[in-house]
Amino acid sequence: MRVVIAPDKFKGSLSAPDVARHVEAGLQAATGSNLDALRIPVADGGEGTLDAAVGSGFARRSAMVSGPTGQRIQAEFAVRGREAVIEMAAASGLAVLPGGPAGTGEGDSGKGDTGGRPDSASARSATSLGTGELIRAALDAGCRQIILGVGGSANTDGGAGVLQGLGARLLDTDGADLPPGGAALARLDRIDFSGFDSRLDGARFILASDVDNLLLGAEGAPAVFGPQKGATAEDVAVLDAALARFVDVLAAEIGPRALKAAAAPGAGAAGGVGYAAIAVLAATRRPGIDVVLEFTGLADRLAGADLVITGEGSLDEQSLLGKTPMGVARAAARAGVPVVAVCGRTTLTPEQQKDSGFRQVYP
């Protein structure tokens, strides 16, 4: 019997590779030697994307970068040939804030996490600088196609930190460099791209994100995701105005595409990193699960399978909105292979389970 085991992480409990190993161990114990198991850990573009890449043949690399509050941390990324996978949360996430337990960032469902506790100060000053430094490390490794998986970020800086990590300078009216964070962008006067990494001209970026929020306004990054990162109502107003200033100054530097990008679906992803990625790096936004299933080669690896097992920590209504188990279930259906799900808990009704394509759900 050939079984493909393709789960997401059980957030706060087990990584996707750990889940896959435990499921295989249980199957082996129940079926004996008549089992051919293929483990393919997957993710939806947020946390766990790096593990999925490594499980699919990418090599794990690391670099010292700036964490969300400026502390130096070691963050990992993955490389396969000229392709790199960067999990933004590794460098700029809530999980790497200094301190105690953390909440969750955009794209997360509040099912538990570890890391620092966000507050008003970090909401205003957290930076995506480390993510830019990881991109530069990937360029140093010879990569020219870069998948940027976002989710769980601590920053609301519009991706200004990413640009700084790639060599741009954000200057105030005195010509001094701005301090990190979204709030400081209110004092932005101009952006100096003279030191911007020239290798970016030959690089292609994919923004792996299911977030379709715009950058600004009632459905923008500060208003929707800022409170999850410790922002008060006053902070939200400050950050929204500061990001509006960032858009205006960037438009003066690179032209109308900066204004158009602010209104693009996904610009609000990862505290606005989606905005900088779209406006400056010409990133193509794609659903995270589609990107991950593509680089893992899941569709081709389903050939000859008798069963697919997927799952995540909580299989619920949010899972139905394009999360990992649904992507795996769709791939299995196209291949004509039955699929079941394992999870820590489920709130889906039997009808929802059936409509989702699962033969059975085992919480």
Range of the domain at 194: 49-289
Mean pLDDT estimate for the chain: 93
Q: What is the arithmetic mean of pLDDT over 158-165?
A: 98
Give the pLDDT confidence score for residue 103 in this predicted structure. Answer: 41
CATH of the domain at 92: 3.90.1510.10
Of 192, 149, 159, 187, nearest in space to 289 by CA: 149
Same domain, 34 and 137: no
d(C-alpha 243, C-alpha 235), whole Å:
12
Residue after which a domain boundary falls, among 259, 289, 319: 289
Same domain, 179 and 259: yes
Tokens 């008549």 correspond to 34
Give the pLDDT confidence score for residue 115 in this predicted structure. Answer: 58
With bands split at pLDDT 50, 70 and 90, how would you rate the model's confidence at 147?
Answer: very high
Amino acid code (one letter) for 21: R
Same domain, 27 and 156: no
Q: What is the arithmetic mean of pLDDT over 105-130?
A: 72
80-117 residue pLDDT tens: 999 999 999 999 999 999 874 444 445 443 333 445 78
Residue after which a domain boundary falls, among 248, 269, 289: 289
Amino acid code (one letter) for 176: A
335-344 residue pLDDT tens: 999 999 999 9
pLDDT at 279 over 60: yes
Tokens 């010509």 correspond to 175
CATH of the domain at 6: 3.40.50.10350
Same domain, 249 and 230: yes
pLDDT at 348 over 90: yes
Give the pLDDT confidence score for residue 46 in this predicted structure. Answer: 87
Strands 145-149 and 169-171: unpaired
Same domain, 93 and 159: yes
Of 178, 197, 148, nearest in space to 246 by CA: 178
Give the pLDDT confidence score for residue 306 in this predicted structure. Answer: 96
Residue after which a domain boundary falls, among 271, 289, 307: 289
Same domain, 215 and 191: yes
187-241 residue pLDDT tens: 999 999 999 999 999 999 999 998 899 999 999 999 999 999 999 999 999 999 9
Number of structural domains in the chain: 2
pLDDT at 40 over 80: yes
Same domain, 267 and 134: yes
Give the pLDDT confidence score for residue 105 in this predicted structure. Answer: 47
d(C-alpha 285, C-alpha 274), whole Å:
8
Predicted TM-score of the model (pTM) = 0.90
Span of 114-128, 162-176, 198-212 with lowest mean pLDDT: 114-128
Give the pLDDT confidence score for residue 3 in this predicted structure. Answer: 97
Same domain, 229 and 356: no
Of 135, 127, 155, nearest in space to 206 by CA: 135
d(C-alpha 63, C-alpha 3), whole Å:
36
Same domain, 330 and 285: no
- DSSP for 272-296, written as a single string: GHHHHHHHTS-PEEE-HHHHHHHHH
Give the pLDDT confidence score for residue 234 in this predicted structure. Answer: 98
Same domain, 268 and 328: no
Of 265, 227, 263, nearest in space to 243 by CA: 263
Same domain, 198 and 336: no
Number of residues that make up the chain: 363
Q: What is the arithmetic mean of pLDDT over 275-287?
A: 97
CB atoms within 10 A of CB 219: 12
Same domain, 169 and 116: yes
Dig out the tokens for 353 from the structure. 């389970």
What percentage of the chain exceeds 90 in pLDDT? 87
d(C-alpha 197, C-alpha 183), whole Å:
25
Calculate the dihedral angle through the C-alpha atoms of 207, 212, 216, 222, rounding to the nearest 10 degrees. Answer: -80
Q: What is the arithmetic mean of pLDDT over 312-317?
A: 93
